[in-house]
Amino acid sequence: MGGDDIEKLTEKIAELVVNSQRCLVFSGAGISTESGIPDFRGEDGIWTKLDPEDFTIERFVASPEVRKLQWKLLAEGGLLRNVKPNAAHYAVAEMDKLGKLDCIVTQNIDNLHQLAGVQDEKVFELHGNMQYVRCLGCRKRFPMDEIVSRLATEELPECDACKGILKPDAVYFGEMLPQAVLSEASRRANLCDLCIAIGSTLIVYPAAYIPEYAYKAGAKVVIINIGPTPMDSKAAVRIEGKAGDVMTRVMHHVRNKISQ
């Protein structure tokens, strides 16, 4: 995409942000790749290396071998140890500081929007997060670090209360999404006047309903992504580019417009 095009398009997005009363940001794995976390379906995505079937709740519960492999991955530093927000997360946090963000609905489990400074109450994590581990037996919740520290001596950690199976508190394929989070995120999507989708293929449901609800409720939809999505034709602005670069340019234009 040429430099002029990207400037024109990011200026248009900034105009929509400045004129919006209720902006919902919808984020996917693509917003975190510049923090060093691979996405799932982009080039070199996680599903080109690991079998998504191993991340179905059925397989996880049925196979101690699958559970051992996943705990081993986490013990070896996992995907999310010591990762930091990138320019895209900070740009969205700046929208919040300027009073231009109603909420973030994210498919990500990396906690990076909160680390960039957006308060918990404004971040709806549809797929859970990796900060905690849940017992599938008694539902007791443990900090991830506590369980990872046990992995030096335990291949397959069990719940210390009921000996149940422990699982990272991210939503696995075949698992229900947290219903209260999904319904509040859906309600916000129906109320927003601008939905900015950043770094998602928009093909995994029910999460991908969120930008569709916004569109059907009359909101303008902006799509920032490397690669096509099924909602591209419905976008008021669709920009092919890296989230960090695009969102930094958008906020540059937003600051200029607000100071005029």
By annotation, the residues acting in catalysis are 127
Residue 242 as a binder of ligand APR (CB under 6 A): the answer is yes
Which residues, 182 to 221, sit near ligand APR by CB under 6 A? 199-201, 204
Of the residues 39, 102, 110, 169, which one makes contact with ligand APR according to CB under 6 A: 39
**Residue reference for tokens 């398009």:** 9
Of the residues 16, 17, 29, 196, which one makes contact with ligand APR according to CB under 6 A: 29
**Contact region with ligand APR (CB under 6 A), list: 16-24, 31-39, 62-70, 174-182:** 31-39
Of the residues 243, 247, 250, 251, which one makes contact with ligand APR according to CB under 6 A: 243
Of the residues 23, 25, 26, 40, which one makes contact with ligand APR according to CB under 6 A: 40
Residue 93 as a binder of ligand APR (CB under 6 A): the answer is no
Nearer Cβ to ligand APR, position 39 or 96?
39
Q: Which residues bind ligand APR (CB under 6 A)?
A: 28-30, 33-34, 39-42, 45, 107, 127, 199-201, 204, 225-227, 242-243
